[in-house]
A and B are shown apart, each in its own frame.
Chain A
Amino acid sequence: MTPAFEKLQKHLKQLPGLGYRSSERIALHLLVEKPGQLPALVAALEEAARAVRRCARCGNLAEAEHCAICADERRDRSVVCVVEHVPDLVAIERSGAYRGSYHVLHGKLSPIHGVGPDDLNVAALRARIESGEVAELILALSNDVEGEATCHYLTEHLPAGRDVRITRIGFGLPSGGGVLYADSVTLKSALDGRRTYH
């Protein structure tokens, strides 16, 4: 292999999910098998790096000051769904069940990995609440200790005196799945979160 090839491969290997073999395969594919695709890819990378940024309001990916969801007048801005990462937002969007707006924290509190509140997109959330536009916060963070700690932190450190309803999404059985196949932890939270049947 040539030095330039190895340099490219080393950079590819640093990408998430790629090991030595897959980075080698991608480098070979780009340079030898389909070199014709390369200029388009380089241009796309450069354009995306120039154009894509964080939405000033919610932290989602945007190409203007605000992302497509924040710019959409039909979305209900008084309801804010707080998520950890952009793919979480995409997953909820894909469900089609939600017509409010979002707020992406870009992580969760994790002292073990050195992530504190200042590393998260909390200041912008605070500003949104202070502006008075938010009536309800839906916390859709992961169901683990760090996710729960982040929920506690947010509930206690958001501006006081505003009448904001805070809820956390439910945890339980997956749709179409029977009780039989659920693991014991999920069953426990499903039992804890049961609802009255009318």
Chain B
Amino acid sequence: MRLRKLTLRHFRNVGFAALEFSGRQQFLVGANGQGKTNLLEAAGFLTALRSFRTTENKLLVGHTQHTAAIACELEHERLGETRVTIKLRHDGKELWCDQARVTRLADHLGKFPTVVFSSQDLQLVRGSPAGRRRWLDLTLAAMDPGYFGALQKFSRALAGRNALLKAGRAVDGELGAFEQILAAAAAELIGLRASGLQALGAQLKASYAKLCDDAEPAGLGYEPNFDEPSAEALLARLEAGRERDRQMRTTLVGPHRDDFHFSVRHTAARDFASEGQQRSLVLALRLAQAAWFQEKSGVRPVMLADDVLGELDPARRRRFWAAIDPASQVLATGTALPDGELGAWQIFEVADGAFVEKPARVEAIP
């Protein structure tokens, strides 16, 4: 997939911007706080109608404005030339794809894959399980409508069971009605997470080997809260745990408490890996995600590199660059222009929410 034209209106600090992209490498350069990341955020919004920085729509709409809009023209491997428009309000969003309104997220999810590389990614290794689960859910749901369906069903049934527990009037009959749905959806999720993490782990191992010369094997390990992917077993466990759940007023067992870890040389990266190893791991994870998207859907994701080039030393930067699929479009940001060795870029200068394309450098004639 290639983004050809991106238009923003009232999106964060960008009043209006219309960018036309040519070639496969675009670089947004400017001082901090000028709106570089906002543009990447808008491009990333296409994939799952979610921002990689916030869960609140309100923050995406410019100050004193009611609606924001992202419009995008792109070339797609399966759909050809496509136009996607997203309208954002404080309390909701609207999606249009080639002039047709899309009302079900399930029909859209994963069609327009992007992969974000951001400095916040380090939290995937070090941060709380909730962040990892969010990443895992979005990644798996983007490629598998079955996963998305099971996740929705699970969340709804869990909300029902927890509401009963919270109200303090949870009788067995009612709990049981929701547990049956909960257990079946949970078993599906556990199975799909296990196989998904295995496939992503294999991709991560390959990309990590490309980033780091020393052949230390890296991987992902699933830590399910309940490790049998069997609806009957989980149902029995939920029934047995009712008394404790009533006291805690919430459901204590299930995939909503799952986690996974990164490993290097078979030890947990969170505790033992160096800063540099952890950085390489998250880059490898994003590369793995991109490779997996492409393998599953046949669509090449657009890479959104938010200020990652600046954080890497020249040797690592070169290896990272070599690891990216040479046919993928890359949208990158930074406070300084990238080295010449990373190829030719189309450059936009960013200042106070305005984007100005810099004319292409004229090569000096020797």
- Measured in the bound complex, the distance between the Cα atoms of B175 and A157 in whole Å is 12
Task: Give A189's nearest chain B residue, CB to CB.
Answer: B149
B145 A145 Cβ-Cβ under 8 A: no
Tell which of B48-56, B57-65, B126-134, B177-185 binds the partner. Answer: B177-185
B163 contacts across to A, CB distance below 8 A? 111-112
Q: For the A-B complex with A111-B161, A117-B174, A145-B160 known, give 14 more contacts whose Cβ atoms are closer than 8 Å.
A: A111-B160, A111-B164, A112-B159, A145-B156, A145-B157, A149-B177, A149-B181, A152-B180, A152-B181, A153-B177, A183-B106, A184-B145, A185-B145, A188-B149
B153 contacts across to A, CB distance below 8 A? 145
| B177 touches which of A144, A152, A183, A184 (Cβ 8 Å) | A152
B173 lies within 8 A of chain A by Cβ:
yes
| B107 touches which of A109, A148, A183 (Cβ 8 Å) | A183
A150 lies within 8 A of chain B by Cβ:
yes
B167 contacts across to A, CB distance below 8 A? 111, 114
B106 A116 Cβ-Cβ under 8 A: no
Number of A-B contacts (CB under 8 A): 63
- Measured in the bound complex, the distance between the Cα atoms of B174 and A114 in whole Å is 12
A109 contacts across to B, CB distance below 8 A? 160, 174, 177
Task: Give B146's nearest chain A residue, CB to CB.
Answer: A188
B358 lies within 8 A of chain A by Cβ:
no
Report the interface size for chain B: residues with CB under 8 A from the other chain: 23
B104 A183 Cβ-Cβ under 8 A: yes
A146 contacts across to B, CB distance below 8 A? 156, 160
Given A156-B176, A184-B145, the answer on whether A116 and B169 have CB atoms closer than 8 Å is: yes
Q: Is the interface of A mostly helix, strand, loop or mixed?
A: helix
B106 A185 Cβ-Cβ under 8 A: yes
- Measured in the bound complex, the distance between the Cα atoms of B161 and A156 in whole Å is 17
Report which A residues bind B (CB closer than 8 A).
109-112, 114, 116-117, 144-146, 148-150, 152-153, 156-157, 183-185, 188
Q: Give, as a whole number of angstroms, the nearest-CB distance from B159 to chain A.
A: 6
- Measured in the bound complex, the distance between the Cα atoms of B184 and A148 in whole Å is 12
Q: Is the interface of B mostly helix, strand, loop or mixed?
A: helix
A111 contacts across to B, CB distance below 8 A? 160-161, 163-164, 167, 174, 178
**Which of A109, A111, A112, A150 has the most chain B CB atoms inside 10 A of its CB?**
A111
A184 contacts across to B, CB distance below 8 A? 106-107, 145, 149
B145 contacts across to A, CB distance below 8 A? 184-185, 188
Given A183-B106, A184-B106, A185-B106, the answer on whether A150 and B177 have CB atoms closer than 8 Å is: yes
B177 contacts across to A, CB distance below 8 A? 109, 149-150, 152-153, 156
B160 contacts across to A, CB distance below 8 A? 109-112, 145-146, 149
Given A145-B181, A184-B145, the answer on whether A153 and B159 have CB atoms closer than 8 Å is: no
Given A149-B181, A184-B106, the answer on whether A116 and B159 have CB atoms closer than 8 Å is: no
Q: Give, as a whole number of angstroms, the nearest-CB distance from A155 to chain B.
A: 9
Q: Give, as a whole number of angstroms, the nearest-CB distance from A107 to chain B.
A: 14
Q: Give, as a whole number of angstroms, the nearest-CB distance from A181 to chain B.
A: 11
A117 contacts across to B, CB distance below 8 A? 173-174
B107 contacts across to A, CB distance below 8 A? 183-184
A185 contacts across to B, CB distance below 8 A? 104, 106, 145, 149
B149 A153 Cβ-Cβ under 8 A: no
Q: List 29 A-B contacts (CB under 8 A).
A: A109-B177, A110-B160, A111-B164, A111-B167, A111-B178, A112-B159, A112-B160, A112-B163, A117-B173, A117-B174, A144-B156, A145-B156, A145-B157, A146-B156, A148-B181, A149-B177, A149-B178, A149-B181, A150-B177, A152-B176, A153-B173, A153-B176, A156-B173, A156-B177, A183-B104, A183-B107, A184-B145, A185-B104, A188-B145
- Measured in the bound complex, the distance between the Cα atoms of B107 and A152 in whole Å is 29
- Measured in the bound complex, the distance between the Cα atoms of B20 and A189 in whole Å is 43
B181 contacts across to A, CB distance below 8 A? 145, 148-149, 152
A156 contacts across to B, CB distance below 8 A? 173, 176-177
Q: Give, as a whole number of angstroms, the nearest-CB distance from A112 to chain B.
A: 5
* B134-154 vs A, Cβ < 8 Å mask (1 yes, 0 no): 000000000001100100010
A145 contacts across to B, CB distance below 8 A? 153, 156-157, 160, 178, 181
- Measured in the bound complex, the distance between the Cα atoms of B153 and A112 in whole Å is 14
